[in-house]
């Protein structure tokens, strides 16, 4: 529902703030006071195109802002989510029109005019000489019928299979388009597959190899160091122990001449024995090192091969294996292309059979309920002052590339089923029915919508209905019936009505009056909420004009008490 509407510097309006309420909101006022300006401003808020001519003289821009209660409105929530706009239980829509252009905002997020219009279509149905009328969009007629027919469950099932069909058709199309390409690439894919399978990398094998090589390559260094030390100590010609042996022999000769060097000779003997023991220990340590240069080289080559695969087919072994699965599928597809096409075509045919069964059930339900709607709408239209109406809901086969033959009949279908729906009407005796969007005047469209909404009220998704010209060309007696119909419809929708007929105004749950005043030699439109006493006066004015009489006051009271 609309909770509030704020308008600034728009045409004759300097500033207006209106709080709307649940139920039937009636707006009255003298001709030219600015009632239609309110509707025009609301239309702009709902996505109608704007002209800079509406900016109030002397102002830089016009601003229109509306606050809407949208809690539990799944369609709005889904639409905003799709367009990355945050959803809250209250929705703020703002429209700014200036000489530089105009801007649209939803919850303070800049949006396109198209999105604003999409949101507006889900929020409000506005009836009068305006674009914002769902009844005048032929594509919505089928929705009216489906809502009345409670086709939600069947339609959801149908649409699920329909979108599955579209997915399969897309898959088939892509398959056929790449048939030749796949066949041409088959040999190349086979070469790549052979290369991957020859190496046959395993998950995380590269990490394992790197760790093993780190250990093995360190062992190689230890072995190398051991060998070098042992060689210097013992194994080489002229090794350290050989030299010490020679030195020790010369020391022995020396002490035979002078025994005072015996201690040094003993120390030298100790060093020689220690180094010999070190050499023996080192040799035994070296011999225990398990190092195979061939094993290391093999692991190095394996790791290099895996890294080459990663460079060619993916950053990781997992990527390489994923690519392997992909080209296996492509090769199998090339080998079994006809079988794959046949499989998908069979699936498509099976889905079409299911779709047709569901579509026939939906169609039968539509036709059964269309007859009920036609009868109820005709009765209500007569009550609302269209004396000789004819109203038909026409079914036409859809035109679509999607079809299925059953028996001797061809059934085409789209996302809504096997038929399109359009409302036809005649409001004059003896005239053939014609498409509703071509024959109805503003006032008639409003009454036709009132009739339809009365019939469909409980199942309709749009919570706000606005009627601008519903009293066009009707008498006081019919106005009473129109008012009653609006009052009853307000049990299911928030209704806003602009009227000049007291019989309709008397049914209001909430009554506003638009007035034009003079300020600083300029005309300004204002709107205010009427209390019960003010309502009596306003309805009396509607009855007798500015010259209010006791009779008009009494009649106003009777009208207010008659609802």
Q: What is the rounded distance in angstroms from the CA atom of residue 395 to the CA atom of residue 448? A: 19
Asked if residue 65 lies in contact with residue 534, where contact means CB atoms within 8 angstroms, the answer is: no
Q: Could you tell me what percent of the chain has a pLDDT over 70?
A: 97
Per-residue pLDDT for 467 more than 90? no
Lowest mean pLDDT: which of 197-206, 324-333, 437-446, 543-552?
A: 437-446
Residue 78 in this model has a pLDDT that exceeds 70 = yes
| Interval 498-506 mean pLDDT | 92
Identify the weakest region by mean pLDDT among 2-6, 163-167, 210-214, 469-473.
469-473
For residue 421, is pLDDT > 80? yes
Task: Say whether 105 sits in a helix, a strand or coil.
Answer: strand
| 234-245 average pLDDT score | 88
| 481-494 as b/e: b if 16+ CB within 10 A | bbbbbbbebbebbb
Which pLDDT band holds residue 440 (cuts at 50, 70, 90)? low
Q: Confidence band (pLDDT; 50, 70, 90) for 441?
A: low
* pLDDT band, residue 19 (cuts 50/70/90): very high
Furthest-apart CA atoms within the chain: distance in Å = 162
Give residue 422's pLDDT band: very low, low, confident or very high (50, 70, 90).
very high
Average pLDDT (475-490) is 88
**Separation of alpha carbons 145 and 142, rounded Å:** 5
In this predicted structure, the answer to whether residue 442 has a pLDDT above a threshold of 70 is no
- What's the pLDDT at 63? 95
End-to-end CA distance of the chain: 24
Confidence class for position 118, pLDDT limits 50, 70, 90: very high
Percent of the chain with pLDDT over 90: 45
Q: How much is the pLDDT for 443?
A: 64
Give yes or no for residue 347 having a pLDDT over 90. Answer: yes
pLDDT at 128: 66
Tokens of 158: 């149908």
Distances (CA, A) of 224 to 127, 227, 286: 96, 5, 9
* Chain CA centroid to CA 551, Å: 59
| CA atoms within a 13 Å half-sphere pointing along the CA-CB vector of 401 | 3
Give residue 368's Cα distance to chain centre: 35
Q: What is the DSSP letter of 414?
A: B
Token duo for residue 151? 């086709």
Point out the least confidently predicted range of 94-108, 130-144, 394-408, 490-504: 130-144
CATH number listed for the domain at residues 1-130+468-530: 3.40.50.300
The domains of the chain are located at: 1-130+468-530, 138-175+354-449, 205-330, 531-563
Task: Identify the pLDDT of residue 287.
Answer: 80
How many CB atoms are located within 10 Å of the residue 14 CB?
Answer: 19
Distance CA 43, CA 34 (A): 15
Residue pair 556/502 in contact by the 8 Å Cβ criterion: yes
| pLDDT score recorded for residue 132 | 59
Predicted confidence (pLDDT) at residue 133 exceeds the cutoff of 80: no
Q: Which of 113-122, 221-230, 512-521 has the highest mean pLDDT?
A: 113-122
* Poorest-pLDDT segment among 29-33, 242-246, 371-375, 513-517: 29-33
CA atoms within 13 A on the CB side of 230: 16
For 380-385, what is the mean pLDDT? 87
Instruction: Render pLDDT for 519-534 as a digit per residue (tens, 0 to 9).
Output: 777 778 889 999 999 9
Residue 60, C-beta contacts closer than 8 angstroms, at least 6 positions apart = 9, 98, 99
For residue 104, with 0-12 CB atoms within 10 Å meaning exposed, 13-18 middle and 19 or more buried, which class applies? buried
CA distance 348 to 197: 36
Of the listed ranges 98-112, 280-294, 416-430, the one predicted with least confidence: 280-294
**Quick check: 368 pLDDT over 60?**
yes
- Per DSSP, what are the bridge partners of residue 409? 406
Q: Tell me the average pLDDT of the chain.
A: 88
> Residue 299 to residues 220, 305, 553: CA-CA distances in angstroms?
14, 10, 107
For the ranges 69-78, 108-117, 193-202, 331-340, the lowest mean pLDDT is seen at: 331-340
More confident of the two residues 73 and 393: 393
**At 387, is the pLDDT very low, low, confident or very high (cuts 50, 70, 90)?**
confident
Mean pLDDT is lowest, of 293-302, 480-489, 535-544, for 293-302
Looking at residue 17, its pLDDT comes to 93
DSSP 519: E
- Helices 141-149, 442-456: axis angle to 10 degrees equals 20
Q: Tell me, what's the pLDDT at 217?
A: 76
Distance CA 366, CA 214 (A): 77
What is the pLDDT at residue 90? 94
Higher-scoring residue by pLDDT: 550, 177: 550
33-42, 242-251, 356-365, 437-446, range with greatest mean pLDDT: 356-365
- What is the structure's pLDDT at 357? 96
> What number is the average pLDDT over the span 205-221?
81
Q: Which of 35-44, 159-168, 193-202 has the highest mean pLDDT?
A: 159-168
Distance CA 241, CA 308 (A): 50
């Amino acid at each position: 529902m609309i909770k509030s509407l704020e308008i600034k510097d728009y045409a004759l309006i300097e500033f207006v703030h209106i709080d709307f309420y649940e139920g039937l909101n009636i707006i009255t006022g003298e001709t030219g006071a600015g009632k239609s300006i309110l509707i025009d401003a609301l239309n702009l808020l709902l996505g109608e195109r704007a002209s800079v001519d509406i900016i109030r003289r002397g102002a830089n821009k016009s601003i229109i802002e509306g606050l809407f209660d949208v809690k539990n409105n799944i369609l709005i929530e889904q639409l905003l989510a799709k367009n990355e706009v945050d959803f809250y239980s209250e929705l703020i829509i703002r429209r700014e029109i200036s000489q530089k252009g105009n801007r649209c905002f939803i919850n303070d997020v800049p949006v396109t005019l198209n999105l604003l219009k999409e949101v507006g279509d889900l929020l409000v149905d506005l009836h009068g000489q305006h674009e914002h009328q769902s009844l005048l969009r032929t594509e919505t007629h089928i929705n009216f019928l489906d809502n009345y027919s409670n086709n939600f469950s069947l339609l959801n099932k149908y649409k699920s299979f329909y979108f599955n069909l579209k997915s399969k058709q897309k898959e088939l199309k892509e398959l056929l388009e790449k048939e030749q390409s796949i066949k041409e690439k088959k040999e190349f894919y086979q070469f790549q597959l052979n290369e991957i399978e020859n190496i046959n990398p395993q998950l995380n094998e590269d990490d394992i190899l790197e760790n093993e090589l780190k250990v093995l390559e360190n062992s190689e260094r230890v072995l190398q160091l051991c060998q070098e030390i042992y060689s210097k100590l013992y194994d080489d010609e002229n090794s350290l122990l050989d030299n010490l042996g020679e030195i020790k022999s010369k020391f022995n000769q020396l002490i035979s001449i002078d025994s005072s060097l015996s201690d040094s000779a003993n120390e030298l003997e100790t060093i020689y024995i220690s180094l010999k023991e070190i050499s023996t220990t080192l040799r035994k340590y070296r011999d225990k090192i398990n190092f195979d240069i061939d094993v290391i080289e093999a692991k190095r080559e394996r790791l290099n091969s895996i890294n080459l695969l990663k460079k060619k087919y993916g950053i990781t072994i997992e990527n390489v294996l994923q690519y392997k699965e992909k080209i296996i599928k492509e090769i199998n597809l090339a080998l079994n292309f006809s079988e794959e096409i046949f499989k998908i075509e069979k699936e498509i045919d099976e889905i079409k059979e299911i779709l047709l069964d569901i579509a026939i059930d939906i169609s039968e339900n539509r036709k059964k309920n269309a007859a009920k709607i036609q009868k109820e709408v005709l009765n209500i239209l007569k009550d609302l002052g269209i004396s000789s109406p004819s109203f038909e809901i026409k079914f036409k086969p859809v035109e679509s590339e999607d079809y299925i033959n059953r028996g001797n009949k061809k059934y085409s279908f789209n996302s809504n089923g096997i038929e399109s729906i359009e409302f036809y009407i005649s409001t004059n005796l003896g005239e053939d029915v014609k498409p509703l969007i071509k024959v109805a005047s503003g006032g008639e469209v409003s009454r036709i919508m009132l009739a339809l909404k009365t019939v469909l009220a409980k199942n309709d998704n749009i919570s706000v209905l606005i009627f601008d010209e519903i009293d066009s060309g009707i008498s006081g007696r019919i106005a009473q019936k129109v008012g009653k119909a609006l009052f009853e419809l307000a049990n299911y929708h928030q209704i806003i009505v602009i009227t000049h007929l007291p019989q309709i105004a008397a049914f209001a749950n909430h009554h506003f009056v638009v007035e034009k005043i003079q300020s600083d030699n300029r005309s300004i439109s204002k709107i205010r909420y009427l209390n019960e006493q003010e309502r009596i006066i306003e309805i009396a004015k509607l009855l007798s004009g500015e010259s209010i009489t006791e009779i008009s006051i009494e009649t106003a009271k009777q009208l207010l008490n008659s609802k």
